[in-house]
Structure 1
């Protein structure tokens, strides 16, 4: 800016000096020429007086010498021309015949009775000359007195003036440049101050202010700038506070929130949305909603909301980053001053995957429980009706029917007990008893308890238990139930002559418990669903051995209550091994 102002100042100054110099030069030249013309005219008039006194002597030698002396004294060339254009007198003599002067412009003007004037190059004297011609009437006819002076002097004056002008321009420019630079620099100081402060403010230092003590327009500009900076700082502080609160609010909302504009490009999303879709805010902002949530149903719903300006809710299934069921509430964003205009919409998302799974599990659970209860109840009801009819007189048959009723009743009792146990474990996950448990002692107790059951089936039950297992904390009864279920499951599905091994040892910061059998094994396709409620690999065989289908589900939930994990390895025809890993609390 300073360079531009200085350049403009320099150009204006240069143009001004040049115009002034050349006008002065022109004025001086014009004035000099006017004076020179007046001098020539006055001398011409004087010569006319000489001629009038004795015009018969024009051709005399005395008159020629007299004009020659006069021309030399006043430094003027004197020429007298007759009516025919012949030169009668010429003070600047040249060898040879002097040509006729009738057609010279100044002579023509004189013949017309005017004062003839002309500036041109003279071949007679080889110089630029100023000519003045005056007419004079005599008895011998009209004659013209012409005086001429060379312009060598005016040329010298012009050169001298030009020299002084150049010196004046150079000196003036140097002095004016120095003064102008200082002056412009002084003017630019407050502007530079305001510019520097604005840069610092743009870099985030909002507390900076411009200090300009002058009382002129620039000082007023600085005052307004500082006032604007105060207002800006207050406004940014308010916006920052509002933004902080808004971000805190968005972050604290556990439901994912996504806002899109009227082109369906994302303009806002919270942390929960980032986590749900596995994308960062900076990568999502500005992208089309389909690039984040690849679901055409949602895209069509957003299109409908923007078009009809309504609130809706839908459920969608998404595959990425993992399969989920989402409930999406859509609300249009309306302008406060024009509620009929929609500029975008906000989607509030609720992950209902677990809810739908639980609903499905509850439905399946009710269905399975109903089925499991219906089968023994139907059997019991049928045999009771038969016994009540008194159509059976054979005591052995009656006793067999009563034994079947007793077996089905026990089965119902076990099923109800398992359902109650599972319900208790699930409802007590957040308030588990923290009893001190001695795993070695509990495992020995379970081994002694299950030994007679295994012996009755001809199965060898043995153990390899570390006698110094560290203590753990949790519900002691649940821990024991877990071991009983695993051991009972192994004994049930191991044929006569088989083996069941119960082991317990410490590894790193965990207690590892395994129950290994040489039973019938489990097909690989059934392993992922083994811990589901009422899931049976072989339903007919399970009912035959008295299984309820809840034993392993109970095991899984007990292990989870201890913050542990359970896994199973099995091969059909060779046996199964269940491994429980429980962390040791420090």
Structure 2
């Protein structure tokens, strides 16, 4: 309570008032005491002068005797209410109104006596050992003729001291009363002064807690009114600033949360202060398990921790690739930058951004593998064509027309194989590049399947294969897609079935309408696919039996094209196969709504 401004102001007021009243009262008492003493001194000097005249008269008349002097002193002392002492020049006491002169000491060394002998009169205030009280003394020489006798008057100061004490008591009582009144008035005044400050303090606390609409009601134009107005303006300014910062923070949080790249913010000690959802997913951790912990303890990756330490110590950016094996195998491109601040540009922490480049590295690997496969697939027929072409250039072989015809047949076959490979590569490239812009129209799936069957009917007859088509009587919906690519899809599926189905076998095509999709089932009685090879049959240039595939003219791209076309139509394809029994393809395509 006593730490408040109100009580401090009141205390200051009271101290000032107390000091002022005490000073004035002390001065007043001093002046009264001085006034009393001055009047007393004048009165006693007058009485001393009268006594001096009296004793001078007695002296001149020759009546100066010790007995007479002592008797006069006692009579005059009674009438004047003063102690009267007659002292000779050598300090002997001849008469005293209150004491037996025979029992009194020599008074020559009394200060008032010494002053009288030197100056003609002496006034002194001192404690008397003979009377055991404080006395006021006035001494005067009777005349300057020798011997120089001295008459001394003394009165006790007890009544003056008593009056001064009473006056001091009255003054102290008045001072105490004045202090009580001053305390009351000071509290009232300081209360009126502090009340607006308390209101301003309350509003300031509300503003600090986030209530920026709280305002001070100011009713004056003085300093407090200006302060209240400033507090109100500050609240509105802070409200706008906080709103602006909140908007910016919300934008930043939205951006960081929406980022597919991981973001981790560490402080100068290497502890994690923040990380976004992408970082949590990348490292497979929970936010409450890592925030506040060191990067090494949270992520447990030595390369990451070592680079962070270098960034914090050397104040320089680092960029490196990081291979993760948990929770998933990933390749990350990591950028670490130091965060500096303050007047000395001290390192306050580091920001790490993690870009998942696993797909890029995988694509690079696939591209390298694709180039190698294409190079190999092209080199084989080209090598054969080049070899037989060199044979034809030898004139010695021209006389045997059978050999020449056989060589030209091989060259034609390899050329056709090369053309098919290039055609499939071109189709695959076109499908991949046109996924987003593929034309969408209502397609009658029965017509497309029937057309594909018709185009391959001659090829099937060469192997005495029967292609059976079973269609639903009604309720078959159309498909939203590209009819040309759908035709290519079923041509490749049927072509694959025809190639790997032995002589005299059969191929069944069945179309069913499911709830929101159309299912096309293509089954054959071919050689089948081993279970271990099924996950890879849709990869480019993958062949279960490479020798047989090349003999049959396969490029290894047919099923890859099938998978890309199905994916482009938001469908899916499944395969079931038994070696020696046959293979069944299940092609699901979304129905048009």
Shift of 1:362: 5.6
1:422 maps to what in 2? 428
How does 1:5-404 map onto structure 2 within 5 Å?
5-55=9-59, 56-60=63-67, 63-93=69-99, 97-113=103-119, 115-137=121-143, 141-185=147-191, 203=210, 205=212, 211=218, 213-214=220-221, 225=230, 317=321, 319=323, 323=330, 365=370, 368-387=373-392, 389=395, 391=397, 397-398=403-404, 400-404=406-410
**Alignment partner, residue 543 of structure 1:** 550
CA contact (8 A) 1:44 1:145 kept: yes
2:465–2:503 Cα contact (<8 Å) kept: yes
Pair 101,5 (structure 1): closer, same or farther in 2 beyond 3 Å: same
Aligned partner of residue 141 in structure 1, secondary structure: coil
Cα shift at 1:21: 1.8
Q: Does the 8 A contact of 1:521 with 1:574 survive in 2?
A: no
Q: Work out the CA distance in 2 between the residues paired with 1:96 and 1:277.
A: 123
Change (3 A) 1:208 1:154: same
Q: Deviations over 1:429-476 (max 9, x none)?
A: 123343445778977998999999899989999999999787643234
Deviation at 1:233, TM superposition (A): 8.7
Whether the 8 Å CA contact 2:477–2:592 is kept in 1: the answer is no
Q: Deviations over 1:92-119 (max 9, x none)?
A: 2479933333333333333434533443
8 Å CA contact retained: 1:495, 1:520:
no
1-structure distance, mates of 2:503, 2:373: 31
Mapped contact 2:528–2:578 kept (Cα < 8 A): no
- Which sections of structure 2, spanning at least 5 residues, go unmatched? 341-350
Give the CA deviation at 1:166.
1.9
**Who is 1:409 aligned against?**
415
Gaps of 5+ in 1: 308-313, 334-345
Distance 1:130 1:376, change over 3 A: same
The Cα shift of 1:72 comes to: 3.0
Shift of 1:148: 1.7
The 1-side partners of 2:240 and 2:552 are apart by 78
Residue matched to 1:558: 565
What's the TM-score, normalizing by structure 2?
A: 0.66
Q: Is the 8 A contact 1:485 1:551 kept in 2?
A: yes
The corresponding residue for 1:521 is 530
Secondary structure of residue in 2 paired with 1:78: strand
Q: Which moved more, 1:412-421 or 1:468-477?
A: 468-477
Identify which range, 486-495 or 137-146, moves more after superposition: 486-495
Structure 1 SS opposite 2:168: helix
- Distance in 1, matches of 2:319 and 2:505, equals 52
Which shifted more, 167-176 or 536-545? 536-545
TM-score in terms of structure 1 length: 0.67
Contact 2:537 2:559 in 1 (8 A): yes
How far the C-alpha of 1:58 sits from its partner, in A, is 4.9
Does the 8 A contact of 1:200 with 1:208 survive in 2? no
Aligned-pair CA distance for 1:52: 1.0
- CA change 1:209–1:177 in 2 (3 A) is closer
How big is each residue's C-alpha offset from its partner over 1:371-422, in whole Å with a ceiling of 9 and x where there is no partner? 4233213323433453564616556545543443343233223223322321
The SS at the match of 2:149 is strand
The C-alpha deviation readout for 1:185-206, integer Å capped at 9, x for no partner, is 5556776677677677775748
Q: Is the 8 A contact 1:128 1:152 kept in 2?
A: yes
Instruction: Mark the CA change 1:209 to 1:573 in structure 2 (over 3 Å): closer, same or farther.
Output: farther
Aligned residue pairs: how many?
A: 548
Q: Is the 8 A contact 1:490 1:519 kept in 2?
A: no
SS in 1 for 2:142: strand
